[in-house]
Copies of this chain bind each other. A is one copy, B any other.
């Protein structure tokens, strides 16, 4: 791919808490990678953006594509009731590839219009429908991982797999998904309560043998935590149960982690496991507020996630808002979780924080994948706009116009919107 540069007001974070930016700078890209952010006009094709904001693509580290159709509904229930009354019946419909095709098209279309460039997505237990989802995401230009979900216990009949069949379908899923280039398979046991020991052992083995990443749920809700204690009396805690099946590590994402105890924090840190922090979902389902400051200080790896349909919005800008908001409330009610997140810290989590799960993405450092979103914020509604700094414009945009005015999106240097 020929080198080119995007000329605009470029802003990114390399570590939590500090923006870097270059007003009227050049983001130089070659072979799909960032070469530099430069003050000097480079000698290559220049994409002019008329002083637009130029930011790294954002990462949604955890969401359920088959739940998108009802995201924003049934918000009056807690996790386990919500699963049984709404989520499972809806997921059952994805046995029909025609329904799945329609729903996943709507999902991929809406996701394409956001600033999200990387995702880690749950499908359903249905292999063929999940392959359809991969196809639609690949065509939408989004990169990342999609998992066929595994469930062989404590689930409605229509979502309960035979253990051997679940393993065989997982292998077929992995094999069939080799055709995709930007979307890759990920091993996806729904969570401990939905998967027998035998299934978990088989999935752990497949992940290890085929060097595949893993995603699941951990410590979301207090009732769920109690349930796992009953199901796995041999485990010293919920995280330890996943570790027993070799499912913790730098290629693993554990969604939520609202209620980690100190042993679990240690286990996640030592294993390098990623936390998909889902502030909106954890609020909607009355799960609680993960102490993100404490986790950051403990050295855990953290990205942000919509967890659609626990979260009602696909917008990572909304997740930045919500991560900050809940961190303030957590601090107010229980200061042991640490101080509130600042805007620059939440932006980091939504970009490089979660992006690092996919390699070098989510920043504009040299050699990073050129995942770029161009936002024409000149249309923002305020008479103050001309007096704002680049970080202030980004904050204003995040709160007032999330995912509006996106005029271009690039993934690995290729324009996808």
- Residue A383 at the chain B interface, CB threshold 8 Å: yes
Given contacts A69-B382, A103-B383, A286-B340, is CB(A395)–CB(B329) below 8 Å? no
Within 8 A of B (CB), among A303-360: 312-313, 321, 324-326, 328-329, 331-334, 340, 342-343
Within 8 A of B (CB), among A186-228: none
- Residue A70 at the chain B interface, CB threshold 8 Å: yes
A63 to chain B, nearest CB (A): 15
- Residue A288 at the chain B interface, CB threshold 8 Å: yes
Give the complex CA separation of A322 and B74 in angstroms. 15
- Residue A39 at the chain B interface, CB threshold 8 Å: no
Quick one: which of B99, B103, B283, B324 contacts A75, CB cutoff 8 A?
B324
Give the complex CA separation of A334 and B330 in angstroms. 11
Contact at A102–B329, with CB atoms within 8 Å?
A: no
Binds B, one of A118-126, A247-255, A396-404: A396-404
A324 to chain B, nearest CB (A): 6
Contact at B399–A72, with CB atoms within 8 Å?
A: yes
Q: Which residues of B contact A340 (CB under 8 A)?
A: 76, 286
- Residue A73 at the chain B interface, CB threshold 8 Å: yes
- Residue A48 at the chain B interface, CB threshold 8 Å: no
Q: Which residues of B contact A388 (CB under 8 A)?
A: 73
Most buried by B among A72, A328, A334, A398: A72
A363 to chain B, nearest CB (A): 21
Give the complex CA separation of A68 and B340 in angstroms. 24
A132 to chain B, nearest CB (A): 14
Contact at B329–A73, with CB atoms within 8 Å?
A: no
Per-residue B-contact encoding for A101-115, CB less than 8 Å = 1, 0 else: 011001000100000
- Residue A235 at the chain B interface, CB threshold 8 Å: no
Contact at B331–A333, with CB atoms within 8 Å?
A: no
Quick one: which of B68, B102, B284, B384 contacts A325, CB cutoff 8 A?
B284
Contact at B383–A71, with CB atoms within 8 Å?
A: no
Q: Which residues of B contact A288 (CB under 8 A)?
A: 329, 332
Give the complex CA separation of A313 and B325 in angstroms. 14
- Residue A381 at the chain B interface, CB threshold 8 Å: yes
Per-residue B-contact encoding for A71-87, CB less than 8 Å = 1, 0 else: 11111100000000000
Q: Which residues of B contact A400 (CB under 8 A)?
A: 71-72, 312-313
Contact at B313–A382, with CB atoms within 8 Å?
A: no
Q: Which residues of B contact A321 (CB under 8 A)?
A: 312
Given contacts A75-B343, A312-B400, A399-B312, is CB(A382)–CB(B329) below 8 Å? no
A377 to chain B, nearest CB (A): 12
In the complex, residue of chain B having the shortest beta-carbon distance to the beta carbon of A398: B72
Given contacts A329-B283, A329-B326, is CB(A384)–CB(B70) below 8 Å? yes
Q: Which residues of B contact A398 (CB under 8 A)?
A: 72
Give the complex CA separation of A20 and B211 in angstroms. 55
Contact at B399–A75, with CB atoms within 8 Å?
A: yes
Give the complex CA separation of A340 and B76 in angstroms. 8
Contact at A73–B383, with CB atoms within 8 Å?
A: no
- Residue A289 at the chain B interface, CB threshold 8 Å: yes
- Residue A392 at the chain B interface, CB threshold 8 Å: yes
Give the complex CA separation of A71 and B69 in angstroms. 31
In the complex, residue of chain B having the shortest beta-carbon distance to the beta carbon of A280: B325
Given contacts A75-B343, A103-B383, A333-B333, is CB(A283)–CB(B69) below 8 Å? no
Q: Which residues of B contact A332 (CB under 8 A)?
A: 286-289
- Further 7 A-B residue pairs, CB within 8 A, beyond A102-B383, A312-B321: A72-B400, A103-B383, A283-B328, A283-B329, A287-B332, A288-B329, A313-B400
A sample of 8 inter-chain contacts (CB < 8 A) reads A70-B384, A70-B396, A72-B399, A73-B384, A74-B395, A106-B382, A289-B329, A313-B399
A interface list, Cβ under 8 A from B? 68-76, 99, 102-103, 106, 110, 283-284, 286-289, 312-313, 321, 324-326, 328-329, 331-334, 340, 342-343, 381-384, 388, 392, 395-396, 398-400
